[in-house]
């Protein structure tokens, strides 16, 4: 027998899922608020501790003075001093108790947030590695079946169409193939006039990109790894979330050089023919892989 309607239970479950998704942010926010509250509570307690210490000193002085009485033995004095210190410690603990409890809960919240994020990052990295492996295997099968050049065209979204060109005298028609690039890889970018380093002259753009690629390779060889985000910074592009995970690493088992994907054609003019926006725009594709789990 169902006592809770499906609509209500479904809404509760979805709400719980959303809260679970945001739990690291919620725990982190609670931890930060708790740290501030701990400081406030500790400050208030410090303002009140002077009275407790004054009472302690006065009572201790009375115990010392009482030693002059014959009926007050040294054993009684030691017993009273132990009792005094115990009572003072209890009063101070009660005074700072709220600050200690809130501080402990704050540390627990911050630790919990970090633990959840660490587990999620590990899971995402593992999932990405599986997807990358499957995609690489898929590209390998296409390469074996269609050839490396054709596989590159598939990967880069290059389409071929035949264009009829009529001669000047109008007596003959020639069919020529024109290749157009229509897609980007998940990490690809378009280098055009929207980039601050772009210039109107194609040869200058090509020289700039070649220089950045050479610098990136030198940096990679020097430190043993390089994130795509670093290369995007040097090129003048904004970083992406994926660019902080992928890149190049000497122990990745992948290419040991950085390639922007524009200098592998025999004819430089083919670089410009693959543009779809404007003459001179460049598609940059990087031979990256997941390196976060290697660091």
List, for residues 20-55, the tens digit of each pLDDT value. Answer: 778 888 888 988 998 999 999 999 888 888 888 888
Of the candidate ranges 116-125, 148-157, 195-204, 225-234, the one whose mean pLDDT is the lowest: 148-157
List, for residues 127-140, the tens digit of each pLDDT value. Answer: 777 887 888 888 88
pLDDT at residue 180, as a whole number: 63
Cα 19 from Cα 47, distance rounded (Å): 39
pLDDT at residue 275, as a whole number: 41
Inter-axis angle of helices 202-223 and 228-235, to 10 degrees? Answer: 150
Top-confidence residue, 202 or 31: 31
Q: How many residues are listed for the chain in this entry? A: 295
pLDDT at residue 3, as a whole number: 55
Top-confidence residue, 182 or 203: 203
Mean per-residue pLDDT, 232-241: 93
Of the candidate ranges 7-16, 34-43, 149-158, 195-204, the one whose mean pLDDT is the lowest: 7-16
Express as a percent the part of the chain with pLDDT over 90: 19
* pLDDT for 281 beyond 50: yes
| Residue 218 pLDDT class (50, 70, 90 cuts) | very high
| Residue 233 pLDDT class (50, 70, 90 cuts) | very high
Query: How far, in whole angstroms, is CA 11 from its chain's centroid?
Result: 31
pLDDT at residue 172, as a whole number: 64
pLDDT at residue 271, as a whole number: 44
pLDDT at residue 125, as a whole number: 77
* pLDDT for 279 beyond 60: no
| Residue 248 pLDDT class (50, 70, 90 cuts) | very high
pLDDT at residue 173, as a whole number: 63
* pLDDT for 236 beyond 90: yes
pLDDT at residue 277, as a whole number: 44
Other beta carbons within 10 angstroms of residue 170's beta carbon come to 7
Express as a percent the part of the chain with pLDDT over 70: 81
Inter-axis angle of helices 6-21 and 23-65, to 10 degrees? Answer: 70
Question: Do residues 252 and 259 touch, judged by C-beta distance below 8 A?
Answer: no
List, for residues 132-174, the tens digit of each pLDDT value. Answer: 788 888 888 998 998 887 887 777 677 777 766 776 666 666 6
Question: Using only C-alpha atoms, what is the Rg of the chain?
Answer: 35
Domain ranges of the chain: 6-144, 184-294
* pLDDT for 98 beyond 60: yes
Q: Where are the alpha helices (DSSP H) in the chain?
A: 6-21, 23-65, 74-146, 148-156, 202-223, 228-235, 269-273
Residues contacting residue 111 through CB under 8 Å, at least 6 positions apart: none
């Amino acid at each position: 027998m169902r006592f809770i309607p499906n609509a209500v239970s479904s809404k509760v479950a979805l709400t719980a899922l959303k809260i679970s998704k945001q739990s690291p942010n919620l725990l982190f926010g609670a931890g930060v608020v708790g740290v501030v509250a701990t400081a406030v509570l500790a400050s208030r307690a410090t303002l009140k501790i002077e009275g407790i210490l004054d009472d302690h000193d006065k009572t201790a002085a009375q115990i010392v003075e009482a030693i002059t009485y014959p009926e007050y033995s040294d054993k009684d004095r030691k017993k009273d001093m132990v009792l005094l210190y115990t009572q003072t410690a209890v009063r101070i603990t009660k005074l700072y108790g709220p600050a200690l409890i809130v501080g402990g809960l704050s540390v627990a919240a911050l630790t919990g947030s970090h633990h959840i994020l660490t587990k999620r990052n590990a899971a995402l990295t593992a999932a990405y590695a599986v997807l990358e492996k499957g995609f690489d295997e898929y590209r390998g099968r296409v390469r074996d079946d269609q050839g490396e050049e054709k596989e590159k065209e598939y990967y880069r979204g290059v389409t071929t169409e035949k264009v009829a060109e009529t001669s000047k005298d109008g007596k003959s028609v020639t069919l020529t193939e024109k290749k157009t690039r229509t897609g980007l890889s998940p990490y690809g970018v378009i280098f055009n006039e929207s980039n601050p380093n772009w210039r109107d002259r194609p040869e200058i753009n090509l020289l700039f990109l070649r220089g950045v690629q050479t610098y990136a390779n030198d940096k990679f060889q020097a430190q043993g790894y390089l994130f795509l985000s670093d290369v995007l910074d040097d090129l003048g592009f904004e970083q992406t979330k994926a660019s902080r995970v992928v890149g190049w690493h000497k122990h990745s088992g992948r290419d040991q050089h950085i390639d922007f994907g524009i200098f592998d054609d025999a004819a430089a003019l083919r670089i410009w023919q693959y543009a779809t926006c404007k003459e001179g725009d460049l598609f940059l594709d990087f031979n990256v892989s997941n390196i976060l789990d290697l660091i």
